[in-house]
Amino acid sequence: MLGIGPTTLSHYIAAGKVSAPKTVHLGGLRVHQWSERDIEHLRELLPKIKNGRKTRYIKQRQEEQKKQKQSTKKS
């Protein structure tokens, strides 16, 4: 429904990027009980959450490009 996998969602909850909804126990499992309101809130929030690894590499490339431009200007 959200376009991300359950593992990714669990990582976001563990990292504190997303607040966890109410949990219920079914048998021996702990399950998050998502309401429609929770899902809509998460849909609004997900585009604002940046994937750390992808953005880190993008930032590294941008910094390298800036350094290259600065070094060519000095030459």
pLDDT 10s digits, 20-73: 888 899 999 988 888 999 999 988 888 877 665 666 777 788 899 998 888 887
> pTM of the full predicted structure?
0.57
Res 4: pLDDT: 84
Q: Any residues with CB less than 8 A from the CB of 27 and at least 6 apart, and which?
A: none
For the chain, the domain total comes to 1
Residue 52 lies in a domain: yes
Please give the pLDDT value at position 50: 66
Whether residue 58 lies inside any domain: the answer is: yes
Is residue 42 assigned to a domain? yes
Contact 35, 24 (CB under 8 A): no
Report whether 42 contacts 18 (CB < 8 A): yes
In a domain? residue 1:
no
Domain that holds residue 29: 6-74
Residue 56 lies in a domain: yes
* Residue 39 to residue 43: CA distance in whole angstroms: 6
Which is more confident, 75 or 72? 72
Residue 37, pLDDT score: 92
Residues 6+ apart with CB under 8 A from 13: 19, 20, 32
